[in-house]
A and B are shown apart, each in its own frame.
Chain A
Amino acid sequence: MPADILYSVRNLTVEYKTRAGAVRAVDNVSLDIRRGEILGLVGESGCGKSTLGKALMRLHTGPASITGGELWFDGRDLMKLSEREMPDVRGAEIGMVFQDPMTSLNPVQRILDHLTETIQTHEPEISEAAARARSEELVERLGIRRERLNEYPHQMSGGMRQRVMISLALALRAKLVIADEPTTSLDVIVEAKFLDLLKELQKEFGLTILLITHNIGVVAEVADRVAVMYAAKMAEVGDVKEVFADPKHPYTQGLLKSVPNIRLDEGELYKMEGAPPNLLHPPAGCRFHPRCPFVMEVCRTQEPAFDPVVGDHFASCLLYQEAGMKQESLHG
């Protein structure tokens, strides 16, 4: 694994057992997260982005299970760790911030107690005073006055609770923070400030962040690279400026055109026809082919590989692959 890669996901498959059969929510997905970057993972509901985020911590229980693949995190394959070794990774090495901080914080515990308890759980040798001091210093860095640490979660605003969640990850010096829709329940002004904070933390602490969101604007604002998922597959990955300026996958192209842009004077939004497929019976070939404006005959039967198109810019689309190009020349 190259030194600049912090997390390398290889051929990951996650299945949910349902009464109607097994559903592959993440299907043979590979993805690299580079050290110090903010990687935006976008897609519509049901595309598998949250399932992927949870799988990175092996957080699946119940009907969901990882049925294949490797999870190389900082030099070791997490799939090879025992269940008893995982809690040391979760929280301490990989932090997590969810959409609704109220459900992640204990409602009957003061914020300060939550922070110190978490630190002491992962670092048993640290004194309570030191854990307290570290908590206070951190939350102040995140713009919360230290007196407020004596409050309960419900006394804080949504934006503050989300900053507390981030401070938990920072308190343990996590190498990676997985943030799943962290700003979705926040109002725009609070969201903008939270995103600014993420950027600052990235620089200041060298934090690596996987930002999972449905909000294309949020990704454009903070991410260095972007990964686009569609129907349990990775559709496109690349530098955020490159992907937004020149999207390769027809799904990304449609997605970007259908996002309202307050700075543009376009009269109408692009309307992508159809809807994502039911993953119990995904279409054969490329999963996007029933909605694709450039669909070719070969797309209905052959699944595209996830290959580089130019440099580090990957797309799984036959338009750029040999099988597709052959067909193009036949018809062109």
Chain B
Amino acid sequence: MAEPNPITSTPVAPANDSDDLVRVENLRKHFPVQSGFLASLLNRGHIPAVKAVDGVSFTIRKGEVFGLAGESGSGKSTVGRLILGLLEPTEGQVVFDGTDLGSLSPETMRKLRSRMQVIFQDPLASLNPRMTIGEAITHPVRIHITRQPEEGRRVVIEILNKVGLAPAEQFYDKYPHQISGGQRQRVVIARALVTAPDLVVADEPIAMADVSVRALLLDLMMRLKEELNLTYLFITHDLATAKYVCDRIAIMYLGKMCEVGPLTDVYEHSGHPYTRALLEAVPVPDPRHRRKEPMPAGEIPSAINPPPGCHFHPRCPIARPNCSVEEPALRELRPGHFVACHYAEDILK
């Protein structure tokens, strides 16, 4: 946008000189499980809960692409929603650019929202089928930028051109069903970026797109990041794609972080047996390649009753007796590279 955005130029947060845009501290989110009357009697008031996120801490630095990876049920999307303030944490805090989100009034939170946006996996589910593309993007413009119709239209046209939906005038009056899946995701990207946010949470942004469209969408997201000085939280199950975009990456398993660090460190010197298994499992588009290491036994257990000690121990190829008792803490093995495994040194050897 050519003119300074009136919302983002008004500081709603105290000045934050540090390099961290988001700081997450000991974040927990437990979802109570619905159970019958008899079961709740038997449990004597103790309500079982899905520990979707169970004590996670990390920071996202300004201008980086921070990857959050894991299998389904690992809690990665819940972390994204907690950061956006779409869910209330059970415990812990999210600090955005120096401000603790938990301390904000709804009004200040609403203003802060223009600085953090989200891109979800399914563009068709993210767009109102009865709203034209122009109308869909005009909504955030009206709330956060300008109430003047002509000015609003100009802003929308500009962002449409920027995301490659040109000529924008032609797309403005179209409905989501009239354009292709890749173009729809561009609309969602445009809507997210029109308020000039600082942080974009991208939750599996290309998972629904076809192979030949994925590269184009990734390229667009990375170009806009440079152009608009964005910071991305890139949530994905696809470690191959993450390799092309992330600066740092965190691997989650059953609500906990098992490894976090610069992408090359995590990929080339992974210190957690789960990370190694995940990397080894990724299908490689080369028929000459063969997997070397055996896959861990079983599947990801329930987050209602996660295994004691290290959550990964029942499936871990190098587990020892203490792994089922003592929970490993995240330890810094190399500068900025943290691993939660008692025997990380053995793996790195």
Q: State yes or no: do A and B come from one complex.
A: yes
Residue of A188, A214, A216 with most partner-chain B CB within 10 A: A188
Q: Mark B230-260, 1 if CB is under 8 A from A, else 0.
A: 0000000111110110000000000000000
User: Chain B, 167-200, contact with A by CB distance < 8 Å: what is the 0/1 string?
Assistant: 0000000000000111000000000000000000
Q: Knowing A217-B240, A220-B289, A260-B243 are in contact, say whether A187-B283 is a contact too (CB < 8 A).
A: no
Complex Cα distance, B211 from A244, in Å, reads 16
B299 and A157 form a contact (CB under 8 A): yes
Stretch from B48-56, B214-222, B320-328 contacting the other chain: B214-222
B210–A192 CB distance below 8 A: no
Stretch at the interface among B25-33, B81-89, B113-121, B274-282: B274-282
**A17 within 8 Å of B (CB atoms):** no
Q: Does B98 contact A (CB under 8 A)?
A: no
**Contact indicator A188/B243 (Cβ below 8 Å):** no
A271 to B218, CA, bound (A): 10
CB distance from B14 to the nearest CB of A (A): 38
Asked whether, in the complex, the Cβ of B281 is within 8 Å of the Cβ of A192, the reply is: yes
Which residue of A159, A256, A258 is within 8 Å of B214 (Cβ)? A258
Q: How far is the CB of A185 from chain B (nearest CB, A)?
A: 9
Q: A189-B71, A262-B239 are in contact. Are A240 and B211 (CB under 8 A)?
A: no
Could you say which of B210, B291, B295 contacts A44, with CB atoms under 8 Å apart? B210
- Whether B286 is near chain A, meaning CB under 8 Å from some CB there, is yes
Known: A260-B243, A262-B240. A188 touches B71 (CB 8 A): yes
Contact B244 A215 (CB under 8 A): no
Q: How far is the CB of B218 from chain A (nearest CB, A)?
A: 7
Chain A 243-281 per-residue mask, 1 if CB under 8 angstroms from chain B, else 0: 010000000001110111111000111111101100000
* CB closest residue in chain B, given A44: B210
CA distance A258 to B285 in the complex (A): 10
**Which residues on the B side are within 8 Å of A270 (C-beta)?**
215
**Does chain A have a CB within 8 A of B35?**
no
Closest to B238 in A: A260
A-B residue pair count with CB separations less than 8 angstroms: 119
Chain A contacts for B240, CB-based, 8 A: 217, 260-262
A188 to B275 CA separation, bound complex (whole angstroms): 12
Given contacts A255-B211, A258-B212, contact A268 B244 (CB under 8 A): yes
- Is B284 on the interface with A (CB-CB < 8 A)? yes
| Inter-chain contact B71/A187, CB cutoff 8 Å | yes
Q: Does B13 contact A (CB under 8 A)?
A: no
Say whether A191 faces chain B, with CB atoms less than 8 Å apart: yes
A84 close to B (CB within 8 Å): no
Whether the Cβ atoms of A241 and B182 lie closer than 8 Å is no
Interface residues as binary, A208-225 with B (CB distance below 8 Å gives 1, 0 otherwise): 000000111110110100
**B214 to chain A: closest residue by CB:** A258
Q: Does B306 contact A (CB under 8 A)?
A: no
The reply to whether the CB of B300 lies closer than 8 angstroms to some CB of chain A is yes
Query: Closest CB-CB distance, A158 to chain B, in whole Å?
Result: 8
Q: Is residue B104 contacting chain A, with contact meaning CB distance below 8 A?
A: no
B283 contacts A215, C-beta separation under 8 Å: yes
Chain B residues whose C-beta falls within 8 Å of the C-beta of A159 in the assembled complex: 299
Instruction: Tell whether, in the assembled complex, residue B281 and residue A191 are in contact, meaning their CB atoms are under 8 Å apart.
Output: yes
In the complex, residue of chain B having the shortest beta-carbon distance to the beta carbon of A244: B287
A254 to B181, CA, bound (A): 19
* B283 and A269 form a contact (CB under 8 A): no
**Cβ-based interface call for B72 (8 A):** yes
B282 cross-chain contacts in A, Cβ below 8 A: 188, 217, 262
Structural contact, B287 and A241, CB atoms closer than 8 A:
yes
B140 sits at the interface (CB 8 A): no
Contact (Cβ within 8 A) A261 B295: no
Chain A residue numbers with a CB within 8 Å of B182 are 275
B296 at the interface (CB under 8 A from A): yes
Is B218 within 8 A of A269, CB to CB?
A: yes
Tell me which of A220, A223, A244, A260 has the highest count of chain B C-beta atoms within 10 A of its own C-beta: A260
Cβ of B211 and Cβ of A44 under 8 Å apart? yes
Top 8 A-B pairs, shortest CB-CB distance: A217-B283, A187-B71, A269-B215, A44-B210, A260-B240, A192-B281, A188-B281, A272-B212
A-B contact pairs, 21 of them (CB 8 A): A44-B210, A45-B210, A158-B299, A187-B237, A188-B239, A192-B281, A196-B295, A220-B286, A220-B289, A221-B291, A241-B287, A256-B285, A258-B214, A259-B285, A260-B238, A261-B286, A262-B279, A263-B284, A271-B219, A275-B212, A275-B213
User: Which positions in B face A, CB cutoff 8 Å?
Assistant: 71-72, 180-182, 210-216, 218-219, 237-241, 243-244, 267, 277-289, 291, 295-296, 299-300
Q: A241-B288, A260-B243, A268-B244 are in contact. List 18 more A-B contacts (CB 8 A).
A: A44-B212, A187-B300, A188-B237, A188-B281, A188-B282, A190-B299, A192-B295, A195-B283, A216-B285, A223-B287, A244-B286, A261-B284, A262-B240, A262-B279, A263-B289, A269-B214, A269-B244, A273-B216
